């Protein structure tokens, strides 16, 4: 308690201490500079100079793009590897089966028994490939048909197509597999459920360049494999992209295609949108041609928080920090890059990471509003401080002027400003002097006494007045001979004359008169020479 009392006492003492005007002025100007700085910050904030949201958004997008590129590249590379491995296995199986029967690939046409045998042998390999790879389906097509006499024989081919019934991105081993294309006995033998849109054979028109492919020889399978554009799977509601890997016969000619399927739903589940401080980030894998991103021919990750439609075509406009993708009504900001996945047309696919521009703008606006509010508060605070300090600075001056005007200047008055205190003290002393001069209303008899003394002083000779001046100046009698180059006797002689003329009897009496005349400010009456 005693310490608190001590602190309170010290605080009160500090408050009563005088501070120089210069220091107060410095403080005031410092606060003014702060206020100017705050207003400047406010203006610049409104102008958006301090906003680096675009740069931050670019960094976020770039990071997500790098991650997505790595993930997708790995995914696609693994699918292509499984596809090539599948193709090689199928080639060996076909070769083994046909060689055992002394047949060629062309002999598969119109040979249901052989096709049945071949599909029974190939199904386990296809099933294994489906289960091992991260995809939604696996297929193989052989350039042969069960019935060449059929109307659709020209664009119909035998093959197997297995698909997952329920799409999941994890736990593929436990997923149900449906038999989408192939001879039904093969599916039944493996206890696979027929797809509700099952068909015996493939429509080869779905595969781009299928017929050209069947007439050519391919070298390395890795160079030949490619992805189809997105297309609607016949009789279903699903869009897919298919990895196409040629199947070579024992002569090296292409006798069919095999590969893996990526459905739009699988991509949707595999690449969920990522939350960021600027809004949801969407991953898109689509061809980019002539400044347009064709979503209808690519795959899109989940985009639940946006209005992005999978069938859209987005025009791309490059800006300083990112690209703007627009479909006319909605815009997205984002970055893109090529991921080295070859499409059927020979062009690489483009990976893009996008954020809705509306959420980005909202984020940017909220950041700027926060900055503006902060700088506004700072400006208001510093301006208030400036006003307060200016008032504190001016108030004592006004009070002093008022006090001087009203002549209520007291000796002990303290304004808190040292210069003003000095001014007050000066005015006070001057006022007192003035009062003393004005109010030197000595009693009449005393005044008469001093008047007589002053009159008598006028009778002093110049030499005597010179000696008197030494006394007035405060010199002792013993000092005067040294100062005036005369003997002490001469001084004493003058003294006796001075005493006689002034009507006094001692030096003490003389010094008393001198003191009183000094206090009254009338010393000049004693020292002024007589004007004749």
Partner 1 sequence: MREIVARQLKDVSTRDAFCFSVRCAECGGVWMSRIAAFSKAGTTPASEGKRIVFGALYQKERERARNAAIRQAMESFNCCPICGRLVCNRCFLICEDLDMCVRCAVRLNEHGAPVLPPLAEAVK
Residue 56 DSSP SS3: helix
Compute the distance between CA of residue 51 and CA of residue 336 in angstroms, rounded to an integer: 24
Short-list 257, 239, 241, CA closest to 249: 257
Tokens of 81: 């590897």
48 contacts 368 by C-beta, under 8 angstroms: yes
Compute the distance between CA of residue 18 and CA of residue 29 in angstroms, rounded to an integer: 19
177 contacts 192 by C-beta, under 8 angstroms: yes
* Least Å from the CB of residue 492 to partner 1: 9
* Least Å from the CB of residue 452 to partner 1: 23
- Residue 69 phi, psi dihedral angles, 5° rounding: -60, -45
CA distances from 442 to 431, 439, 466 (A): 19, 8, 29
Beta carbon nearer to partner 1, 61 or 502: 502
Beta carbon nearer to partner 1, 58 or 494: 494
* Least Å from the CB of residue 462 to partner 1: 4
Compute the distance between CA of residue 35 and CA of residue 232 in angstroms, rounded to an integer: 65
Residues that bind partner 1 (CB under 8 A): 461-463, 481-482, 485-490, 493-494, 497
Beta carbon nearer to partner 1, 432 or 496: 496
Tokens of 335: 């970055």
Residue 256, strand partner residues = 142, 247
Residue with tokens 């003394």: 453
Compute the distance between CA of residue 515 and CA of residue 387 in angstroms, rounded to an integer: 53
Beta carbon nearer to partner 1, 395 or 487: 487
* Least Å from the CB of residue 487 to partner 1: 5
Cα dihedral value 340, 342, 346, 348, nearest 10:
-40
* Least Å from the CB of residue 500 to partner 1: 13
**Looking at the chain, how many residues does it have?**
532
Compute the distance between CA of residue 80 and CA of residue 264 in angstroms, rounded to an integer: 18
Beta carbon nearer to partner 1, 237 or 485: 485
* Least Å from the CB of residue 455 to partner 1: 19
* Least Å from the CB of residue 454 to partner 1: 20
* Least Å from the CB of residue 505 to partner 1: 20
State the number of CA atoms in the 13 A half-sphere of 350 facing the CB. Answer: 20
Beta carbon nearer to partner 1, 118 or 526: 526
Beta carbon nearer to partner 1, 25 or 530: 530
Compute the distance between CA of residue 94 and CA of residue 97 in angstroms, rounded to an integer: 5
Short-list 279, 424, 299, CA closest to 359: 279
SS (H, E, C) 322-382: CEEEECCCCEEEEEEEEEEEEECCCCEEEEEEEEEHHHHHHHHHHHHHHHHHHHHHHHHHH
Beta carbon nearer to partner 1, 401 or 530: 530
* Least Å from the CB of residue 494 to partner 1: 7
Beta carbon nearer to partner 1, 220 or 489: 489
């Amino acid at each position: 308690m005693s310490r608190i009392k001590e602190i309170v006492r010290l605080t009160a003492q500090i408050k009563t201490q005088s501070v120089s005007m210069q220091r107060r002025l410095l403080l005031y100007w410092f606060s003014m500079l702060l206020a100017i700085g705050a207003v400047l910050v406010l203006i610049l904030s409104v102008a958006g100079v301090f906003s680096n949201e675009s740069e931050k958004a670019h960094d976020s997008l770039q990071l997500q793009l790098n991650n997505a590129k790595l993930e997708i590249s790995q995914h696609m590379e693994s699918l292509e590897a499984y596809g090539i491995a599948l193709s090689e296995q199928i080639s060996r199986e076909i070769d083994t089966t046909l060689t055992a029967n002394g047949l060629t690939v062309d002999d598969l046409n119109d040979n249901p028994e052989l096709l049945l045998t071949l599909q029974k042998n190939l199904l386990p390999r296809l099933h294994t490939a489906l289960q091992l790879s991260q995809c939604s389906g696996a297929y193989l097509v052989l350039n042969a048909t069960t019935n060449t006499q059929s109307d659709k024989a020209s664009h119909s081919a035998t093959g197997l197509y297995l698909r997952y019934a329920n799409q999941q991105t994890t736990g593929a081993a436990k997923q149900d597999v449906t038999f989408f294309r192939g001879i039904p006995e093969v599916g039944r033998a493996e206890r696979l459920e027929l797809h509700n849109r099952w068909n015996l054979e493939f429509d080869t028109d779905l595969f781009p360049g299928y017929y050209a492919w069947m007439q050519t020889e391919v070298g390395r399978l890795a160079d030949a494999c490619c992805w189809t554009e997105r297309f609607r799977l016949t009789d279903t509601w699903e869009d897919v992209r298919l990895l196409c890997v040629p199947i070579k016969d024992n002569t090296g000619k292409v006798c069919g295609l095999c590969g893996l399927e990526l459905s739009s739903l699988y991509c949707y589940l595999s690449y969920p949108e990522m939350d960021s401080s600027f809004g949801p980030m969407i991953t898109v894998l689509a061809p980019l041609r002539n400044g347009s991103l064709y979503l209808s021919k690519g795959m899109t990750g989940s985009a639940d928080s946006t209005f992005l439609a999978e069938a859209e075509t987005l025009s791309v406009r490059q800006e300083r920090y990112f690209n703007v993708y627009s479909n006319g009504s909605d815009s997205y900001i984002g970055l893109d890059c090529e991921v080295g996945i070859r499409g059927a047309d020979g062009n690489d696919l483009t990976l893009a990471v996008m954020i809705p521009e509306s959420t980005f703008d909202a984020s940017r606006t909220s950041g700027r509003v926060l900055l503006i509010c902060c700088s506004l508060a700072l400006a208001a605070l510093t301006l208030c401080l400036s006003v307060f300090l200016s008032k504190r600075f001016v108030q004592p001056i006004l009070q002093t002027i008022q006090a001087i005007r009203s002549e209520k200047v007291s000796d002990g008055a303290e304004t808190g400003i040292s210069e003003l205190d000095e001014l007050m003290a000066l005015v006070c002393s001057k006022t007192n002097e003035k009062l003393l001069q004005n109010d030197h209303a000595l009693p009449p008899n005393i005044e008469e006494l001093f008047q007589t003394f002053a009159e008598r002083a006028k009778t002093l000779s110049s030499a005597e007045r010179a000696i008197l001046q030494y006394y007035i100046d405060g010199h002792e009698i013993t000092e005067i001979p040294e100062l005036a180059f005369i003997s002490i006797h001469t001084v004493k002689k003058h003294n006796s004359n001075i005493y006689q003329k002034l009507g006094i009897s001692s030096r003490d009496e003389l010094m008393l008169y001198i003191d009183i005349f000094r206090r009254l400010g009338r010393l000049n009456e004693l020292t002024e020479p007589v004007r004749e």
